[in-house]
Amino acid sequence: MSKPSLLYIFTDQQRADTLACYGNDYIDMPALNGLADRSFVFDNAYVSQPVCSPSRATMLCGLYPHTARVPACNVPLPEEVQTIAEMVDPDCRRHYLGKWHLGDEIFAQHGFTEWTGSEDSYRPFFSSPDKHEHVSPYNQFLIDNGVEPNSESFGKHIHTRHLEASQAAPLTKAAFLGDRAADFIQDVGDERFVMCVSYLEPHPPHTGPYNDLYDPASLPVGPHFRRKPPENASVLNRVMAAYYSESLEYGLDLRTDEGWRAVRARYFGNCTLIDQSIDVILNSLAETGRDKDTIVVFTSDHGEMVGDHGMLGKTVLYEESVRVPMIISVPGKTDRTHIFGNFSHIDLVPTLLDLMGEPIPNHLEGVTRTDVLNGDGSLADNDVFIEWNGADGHPRAGEAELNPEMARQWRSVITADRWKLNLSSLDTCELYDLNTDPYEQTNRIDEPDLQDRVSDMTGRIRAWQESVGDTAPIEQQ
């Protein structure tokens, strides 16, 4: 039997509870819900760092952000750090489509020999002046369809993200990527391939063609919606919530319940937009028969708060920011299997290589979890570790430039028995029992009866740091 191909789909800023397999029965996501119904679904999957570039380094390279040397956004992936495209058989066709955010945004690199870029907003981070002569294929697609650029960058006319997002559904970035990915599947014939499709949506700007698809007033919310963190929470979280609770964002008044619900409805509308694009790709797989020999993976680089704890965005260690959908479909699987326990993105690359029948390089920091998929292993004893490495490189409210607390380093562990400890050497640390307090409303870090647990979890973080060469100074305050 020939080795399978890989279709690796990921979004930007999509929290886990946007899919039916994670309890969402109120938004329209038929393609991804259908995929989940014939896949392995990881119930508790976590990113390595809740912001774009560092998380993507882990998702593509199988290394923690500090090891990949991508500690913050807009830091290019070093040339010598391999992606999965550099670890597979070079005879594979290897195509990357969409947002990269790891340097030289729209140019083929790191083992991908075919490239369809979609982002022109990262032009300031190109590595050489000659690259500024080029714009993304999506830019040209919009021009060809009568949408004139409304901004200029390094001598080229480009479209702002808000203009891109304001297009009718067929002209959106999501639709463009879905159509191009489907074209590739039609073109590839019987050749083996690795294709990554990386969507910007539902990342801001929180607007799109389906802004009015969902009624804001009727969308369910949890008890932590618009509820600010308590006084014994970290300064980081309290400052971020304080800012957003008094802000105007994306044309919406976040001082009001109506404003928060509207941004939530728009967010879910963009999730549906992505689903429609993914449907085009999956249909192309089925029409060509390539679904019979292609592994399909879906996940996201981090989540989105959309009002929970009174916050917008990511960059914090709350579940809505660090927990993401994680679905793996293998050829021939026709039912849904839930994988219990904690799963980390650090294990994704080795698992995919193993499923593809490719050797797993020794330098990877994760391990293959194919034994769990085969029913011969378990995640029941698995702790996961999450980093925050300081300023995230975004000039956004609540983030590093306007919130100096964001520049501090954090390390977090979610233990197998579902407790979370967030440690910082310069801020109030946090302890949550995710079993009884899944919305993380009660910080129990100072409770006398839990100090043995805190010490044990701190020891686990330090042992993990030693094992992966992480030198971040983390001490409980």
Output the CA–CA distances (angstroms, integers) from residue 357 to 24, 196, 303, 405, 464, in the order listed.
34, 18, 31, 44, 29
In a domain, 338, yes or no: yes
In a domain, 436, yes or no: no
- Residue 422: predicted pLDDT: 97
Nearest to 233 by CA among 65, 437, 16, 457: 437
pLDDT digits (tens, 9 = 90+) for 172-193: 999 999 999 999 999 999 999 9
Q: Quick one: which H or E segment has residue 409?
A: strand 409-414
Q: In this structure, what token pair is assigned to residue 293?
A: 């020999």
Q: 11 has which bridge partners?
A: 300
Nearest to 324 by CA among 8, 11, 7: 11
Q: 114 has which bridge partners?
A: 95
Q: Is-contact 76 69, C-beta < 8 A?
A: no
Q: How far is the C-alpha of 240 from the C-alpha of 406, rounded, in Å?
A: 9
Q: How many Cα atoms within 13 Å fall on the side-chain side of residue 338?
A: 9
Q: How far is the C-alpha of 336 from the C-alpha of 70, rounded, in Å?
A: 35
In a domain, 369, yes or no: yes
- In the chain, pLDDT over 90 holds for what percent of residues? 91
Q: In this structure, what token pair is assigned to residue 295?
A: 């592994």
pLDDT digits (tens, 9 = 90+) for 115-170: 999 999 999 999 999 999 999 999 999 999 999 999 999 999 999 999 999 999 99
Q: How far is the C-alpha of 89 from the C-alpha of 82, rounded, in Å?
A: 13
In a domain, 131, yes or no: yes
Helices (H), 399-439: none
Q: Residue 293: which domain range?
A: 5-221+253-383
In a domain, 289, yes or no: yes
Q: How far is the C-alpha of 100 from the C-alpha of 73, rounded, in Å?
A: 11
Cβ count within 10 A of residue 158: 22
In a domain, 242, yes or no: no
Q: How far is the C-alpha of 13 from the C-alpha of 407, rounded, in Å?
A: 21
Number of domains in the chain: 1
* CA angle (108 as vertex; 56, 206 as ends), nearest 5: 45
Q: Is-contact 119 100, C-beta < 8 A?
A: yes
* Contacts for 168 with CB less than 8 Å, ≥ 6 apart: 209
3-state secondary structure of 453: helix
- Residue 397: predicted pLDDT: 44
Q: How far is the C-alpha of 329 from the C-alpha of 470, rounded, in Å?
A: 33
Q: Is-contact 199 10, C-beta < 8 A?
A: yes
pLDDT digits (tens, 9 = 90+) for 367-396: 999 999 999 999 999 999 999 998 665 545
Q: What is the CATH number of the domain that holds 186?
A: 3.40.720.10
In a domain, 446, yes or no: no
Q: How far is the C-alpha of 49 from the C-alpha of 26, rounded, in Å?
A: 29
Q: Is-contact 20 30, C-beta < 8 A?
A: no
**103-112 average pLDDT score:** 96
Q: How far is the C-alpha of 221 from the C-alpha of 306, rounded, in Å?
A: 10
pLDDT digits (tens, 9 = 90+) for 47-82: 999 999 999 999 999 999 999 999 999 999 999 999
Rg, the chain, Cα only:
21
pLDDT digits (tens, 9 = 90+) for 394-445: 545 445 455 667 788 999 999 999 999 999 988 999 999 999 999 999 999 9
In a domain, 233, yes or no: no
375 sits in the region (left: phi over 0; alpha: psi -120 to 50; else beta) called left
- Residue 2: predicted pLDDT: 87
Q: Is-contact 50 388, C-beta < 8 A?
A: yes
Residue with the two structure tokens 């690796």: 8
- Residue 398: predicted pLDDT: 46
- Residue 394: predicted pLDDT: 53
Question: Band of the pLDDT at 107, cuts 50, 70, 90?
Answer: very high
Output the CA–CA distances (angstroms, integers) from residue 287 to 259, 292, 399, 410, in the order listed.
43, 11, 45, 47
pTM of the model: 0.96
| Burial grade of 380 (CB within 10 A; 0-12, 13-18, 19 or more) | exposed
Q: How far is the C-alpha of 461 from the C-alpha of 108, rounded, in Å?
A: 37
pLDDT digits (tens, 9 = 90+) for 191-221: 999 999 999 999 999 999 999 999 999 999 9
Q: In this structure, what token pair is assigned to residue 421?
A: 């400890």
- Residue 406: predicted pLDDT: 76
Compute the mean pLDDT over every residue in the chain, rounded to the nearest whole number: 95
Q: In this structure, what token pair is assigned to residue 404?
A: 């100096």
> Positive or negative, the Cα torsion across 232, 234, 240, 243?
positive
Nearest to 62 by CA among 359, 392, 416: 359
Q: How far is the C-alpha of 53 from the C-alpha of 334, rounded, in Å?
A: 34
- Residue 407: predicted pLDDT: 80
- Residue 290: predicted pLDDT: 97
**285-297 average pLDDT score:** 97
